[in-house]
Every structure is written in C-alpha cells, then in structure tokens.
Structure 1
Amino acid sequence: MTMTTTSEAVQHFAAKLRFETDPSDVRAAQLAGEEFVLIDSRGDAAWRQGRIAGALHLPTALIPERAAELVPAGRPVVVYCWGPGCNGSTRAALAFSLLGYEVREMIGGFEYWAREGLPVEDDNGPITRGADPLTAPVDAVSCAC
C-alpha cells in the first residue's frame, strides 16, 4: 500500500468537502434558507416514482441544452441521482461544472435522503416514511459527525 503525505491527504479531503455534500447538510441548508437549486438528474420513470420535495428534474443528458433556461446563472447547484451505487450525480456535476456552475454532488443520493426520513414526494404528493435506524439517528436531530 502506498502512503500519502499529510499535505496530500489534506488537499484530498478538503476538495471532497468543497465538491460533495450529504442529505442532512442539504436539508439543513434548505431549512436555513440558503439559495441553491437541487437537481434530480435521474430519468423520467425514477422521477415519477419519487423524488426529494422541491427538487428540479433535469436528467443528466439534458443539462447541456436546458440548464441555462432552468437554473439562473450564478446560482449554486446540488445534484443527486439514485444512491451510492450510481455515478449519475457525478456525471451531472461534471456537466454543470463544464457550463460554469458552482456545483456540489450529494453523496448517498435519493436513497439516503429517503432512508434518513427527509421530505420525499411523487406525482400524488408527499410520501411519509420514517428514518432507517441503520442510516440515521431515530431519536436525535443529527448524527453529530
């Protein structure tokens, strides 16, 4: 195993925190009134099945042609896809970056947002589900990490 230097590790982890976020931090930013656009980069069937309440649907393939009409220039963007087993949000983040947007990828995606019991909806309205005790504290506001 090749070891990295402390400075390499600092650069790596600082970059991750600059370009990635997670469901609980996104929810906290929403509740704090921070201005950003939350983008669901999945396809139509996934969007209809369920999505983060308040997200904007913009499949990755359509970002180059539609981002400018849907997302104001200069507005920060957070992108998500299905979950940790999918790199669709990484592709979406790259597409927004290529267009000059400040963008962060929400690690965990829709899966961990829903598993943490955060607001989810479908075409019929809100979907109620509790937090999964394997992924989120059930009796606390935060995991304190």
Structure 2
Amino acid sequence: MALLAGASLTISLSAQACEGTDCVLASRAGVNVYPIDLEASLGDLEPGERAGVLAKPERIERLMDNVLITRQLAEMAKKAGYDKDPIVQREMLLAAERALAEHARTDELKKRAGAADFESYAREQYAVRMDEFRVPETTEVAHIL
C-alpha cells in the first residue's frame, strides 16, 4: 500500500482537449486514467453534484486518484490470478449486469418523466381541492405599553 501512496501523480494540463482514450489525464505505476474514466465515475451523480465535483480541482484530483488506486489494485489482482477464479469471474459479470440494468432503468425513468405533464396535473389537483391549499387568515396583534 505504501507503493500506492508514494507513487507520483501526473496530470495532463490539456485535459479539455481530450476525449475517450485519446489522451492520459493521470498515470501512476503503469496504469492510466482517461477522460472517459472520469465521465464513467461521475455517472452515479446528479447533474448538480457532477458540476460541483468538476468545479473543484481537488475533487477531480481525488476522483482520478481513486480510479488510479482501483486500477492498480485490479492489476495486482490479475497478476495474482484472481481473475481466473470462477467466483470472481461471476462477481465481475454481475457487476457489469448491474451497471447495464441501472442505465436502462435510469433511461426509462427519464423517458417517463419527460412525457409526464406535471403542471397540468398540479393545476387539476388545485382546482379540485382548493380548500386544502388555502391558508387560514391570521391576525397579528401587538400590545404597546
């Protein structure tokens, strides 16, 4: 683990010009991070959260560092032969299936949300249940001596 922590981190300054695996954003101990890796790492976040991460260089660096450490450990595991274990192979397959299912689910939810007309529904609910949305009148009284 000291090897991982002590290794130097090289970050490309021309990251904005890179896409996919065209260039390396960060490299350590023989493993690289590409722009597509960062995009995939940000995939779990909502757009607002994603913008927050991308707005702070230290958070981007932490994200790249996490990808590098994971990739280094995965390389060490492959060299040790873990990827040949049938249980590990099945775990990797299940992880890939979970990712695919999550993308399909998210896309379906986006399609349904885009098709829904929430404003007309809200207006309809208001028209039907106006009394529930009324705020009772209040009176403020102040006593001055």
User: TM-score normalised to the size of structure 1?
Assistant: 0.24
Q: Which has more radius of gyration? A: 2
Structure of higher RCO (CA pairs closer than 8 Å, 6+ residues apart):
1
The structure whose residues are more often strand, as a share, is 1
Structure in which a larger fraction of residues adopt helix: 2
